[in-house]
Amino acid sequence: MHVIEKAVSDMYSDHPFPQRNEYGVNVMNQDFAKNMESLGLSMGFLKGKKVLDAGCGTGELSRFMARSGAIVDGVDISDGSLKYATECAAKEGLKNVTFSKKSLIDDKFPENTYDVIVSHMVLHHTADAEKAFKNIVKSLKPGGTVIIRLFFLWGRLSPFQKSPLWKLWVVKLLAGKSPDAKVKLAEKLFYKEGDEKSHGLNKYTYLYDNYGVPQVTHHTYGQLLRWFRESGIDYLSSNPPVELKKMIDRFVYNQRQSVTKRGRFFKKLADITLTVIPLHKAKAAEKPGLYSRFFSQFICLFLAGTPMFTICGTRRK
């Protein structure tokens, strides 16, 4: 096992993630379902399909997909997380989900096996996210669907992000590599009582997952689109959208009123700017090319501040 993978495995065995309360589980299940809808899919899409949950952790998402009718193989490198996942599935009486220990990088996955591959907030904690992605998609059937959610570089750099990237850099610079040392420092510098409650987590599960993880990488639209091309995957959709026109429709021309003054100000400013310079009406704004990626990532940096992005594609037949 790679040294980084061992460090990640050890930390998550000591601090299995996620271990949410009922409120947190419901919130995250709803979040995943809404994310699927944003991609043009639904939870019903998974019914009867054989699904690989690549990096399942404690199996929270695996069990949700199983309850939606999928036949799920959850794999992870953390013994502690897998033990918790297996116990929870047994308590719920789920027969259509199994859990096993596998490295997304080092272990071989059976080719042309899965209808759907989901890797939800995992690849950015592996020793080599690109290698892990290219390894797991070999097991996707032709015509099968892959759904990947990763840390978004431009969103995490946003000055409006609640958990900005610079905090991770400060903790790593001052505390070194030890997860315990990083968490201890982060608790002193950045933790506010109750930060974990909106996630349905306990304090230290929250802190270890946010600050203690030995490996965290951040990614861009262009990077994932390249991985798709090189792996024979055709792009379908993303959330937030890669395509500028869809991005503008989502964040500027929607009917929802922002809850903050800042949000209302920037939305109005964007509306005025686009009236004068209609960037979103260019033909290139309808495609996930360089033009769209540049402006969409600009919006995520200065307006949206979204920490994650999800991208979906199908394997060529």
Regarding beta strands 50-54 and 140-151, do their DSSP bridges make them parallel or antiparallel, or are they unpaired? unpaired
Residue-level pLDDT at 259? 58
Residue 141 in contact with residue 114, Cβ under 8 Å?
yes
Structure tokens at 1: 């096992």
Residue 56 in contact with residue 76, Cβ under 8 Å?
yes
Q: Rounded to whole angstroms, how far apart are CA atoms 175 and 235? A: 40
Residue 66 in contact with residue 97, Cβ under 8 Å?
yes
Spell out the domains of the chain, with CATH numbers in brackets: 3-151 (3.40.50.150), 244-304 (no CATH)
Average pLDDT per consecutive 10 residues, the chain (317 residues; last block may be shorter): 85 90 93 95 96 96 97 96 95 96 94 97 95 97 97 87 87 94 95 90 93 94 97 96 91 69 75 88 94 90 81 95
Q: Rounded to whole angstroms, how far apart are CA atoms 273 and 299? A: 13
For the chain, give the number of residues: 317
Residue-level pLDDT at 265? 76
Other Cβ atoms within 10 Å of 201 Cβ, number = 21
Residue-level pLDDT at 158? 83
235: alpha, beta or left, given left = phi > 0 and alpha = psi -120 to 50?
A: beta
Residue-level pLDDT at 258? 62
Backbone angles phi, psi at 309, to 5 degrees: -140, 150
Residue-level pLDDT at 111? 94
Residue-level pLDDT at 218? 95
Instruction: For helices 179-189 and 165-175, give the axis angle rounded to 10 degrees.
Output: 120
Residue 81 in contact with residue 57, Cβ under 8 Å?
yes
Q: Rounded to whole angstroms, how far apart are CA atoms 61 and 72? A: 10
pTM of the model: 0.93
| 316 alpha carbon, distance to own chain's centre | 23
Residue-level pLDDT at 208? 94
Structure tokens at 309: 């992005």
Q: 302: which DSSP letter? A: I
Residue-level pLDDT at 44? 95
In the chain, alpha helices (H): 3-14, 22-38, 60-67, 79-92, 129-136, 153-156, 165-175, 179-189, 203-207, 221-230, 244-251, 261-276, 290-299
Q: 38: which DSSP letter? A: H
